[in-house]
A and B are shown apart, each in its own frame.
Chain A
Amino acid sequence: MLRLDATTDRFLQGTLDDIRASFVTISHASQLIGTDLGDLLTRESAQALQLIESFELAAHNNFGQLMLPLEPVALSAIVQDSLHALWPMAKKSGVELRLSLAGKYTPVMAHQTALLQAMNSIGRALIEYATLSDTREPLVFGVHKTPGGIAAGVFTTQEISEGLSAMSLRSGKALIGKAKAPIASFSSSASSGLLLADSLLVSMHTHVRIGRHGKGWGLATTLKPSRQLAFI
């Protein structure tokens, strides 16, 4: 795999810091404006900042000097943190968020920051998706056991089969870098967020996939339990 040398890695870091500073300026200035337009700018800049964070982690992990170290992480806590982080966005969008954590789960092997960013990207995409429907079904941030491990994701009972499927995810991955919005049912920033989430999850030996939770469908990922902690 191609790896960047230290100089290029620092250049990438410096450029990302500069881009980040510009979006922070927009975000903080828009908070001062305090109108609907200000709110819109705040949300958009927050989304851009999250994309930058995800890109930075994925780029460093895939091409740079950093390998994301995996450690035991409580998946339920990550899902709750993600719900909490996205609550203001969901409220502004008129989408109700619910938590569904039935039972206790063994910690999974993951990189905490990267996993939270991946969950946030999934959540943002689904909140945006929910606003396309007049019915605005609640979104469920859920965790459950599967034969392959422990799954976490964001789910809805809204009809998603046409717009979002395993096939649309696969073709989205194939179109990355070639199309502005590689997953047709999402905006370009939400699509990029999902594909970056997938790239981050690859470092944890998993992917974004279509998943089921109770009666709902949605986007999820499955992680392996920590072997060490499974025996405690």
Chain B
Amino acid sequence: MTREILLIESDAKLAAVHCEFLVREGYGVRVVSDAQKAIHAVDDLRPDVVILEVQLPEHNGVEFLYELRSYADWHDLPVIIHSIIPAERFKIAESDWKNYGVYAYLYKPTSKLTDLTKAIQEAMES
């Protein structure tokens, strides 16, 4: 059975690259470009993992995360943040990210694509 990933990414070029990579790795991928569409996509796709860029137009990724966790059905859905913004800029403690079910925070400029697959595999096994 194909594992499904919801990729929330507002940069169309990066979304295309990451989608291509994840499909090659054998995952089913749906891409949405903003936080509002993302909540509907979670309900519709019921993904195994969400990959979230926190810098999104209008509602940012942190707001999406808070909303996602407000639904009992999605309390345990693993979220991997894959962002152009370093975690330090949010002034959110690492423990708070974990409390919101963020499995890993990958900073795009220093992470490789293989770091992403490793995080996905670990999140799915957890």
> Which of A's residues lie within 8 Å of B, judged by CB?
17, 20-21, 23-25, 27-29, 31-32, 49, 52-53
Contact = CB atoms under 8 A, between A and B. Distances in A.
B18 interface: yes
Interface of B: 11, 13-14, 17-18, 20-21, 24, 55, 84-85, 108-110, 112-114
Nearest to B20: A32
20 contacts: A17-B55, A17-B84, A20-B84, A20-B108, A20-B109, A21-B11, A21-B14, A21-B84, A21-B108, A23-B109, A24-B14, A28-B108, A29-B17, A31-B114, A32-B17, A32-B21, A49-B109, A49-B110, A52-B109, A53-B109
B14 to A, nearest CB: 5
Nearest to A31: B113
A230 B108 CA distance: 37
B21 A24 contact: no
Contacts of B108: 20-21, 24, 28
A52 B55 CA distance: 18
A23 B11 CA distance: 13
Q: Is the interface of B mostly helix, strand, loop or mixed?
A: helix
Interface of A is mostly: helix
A28 B21 contact: yes
Contacts of A52: 109
Given A17-B84, A21-B11, A21-B84, A28 B17 contact: yes
Given A20-B84, A32-B20, A25 B109 contact: no
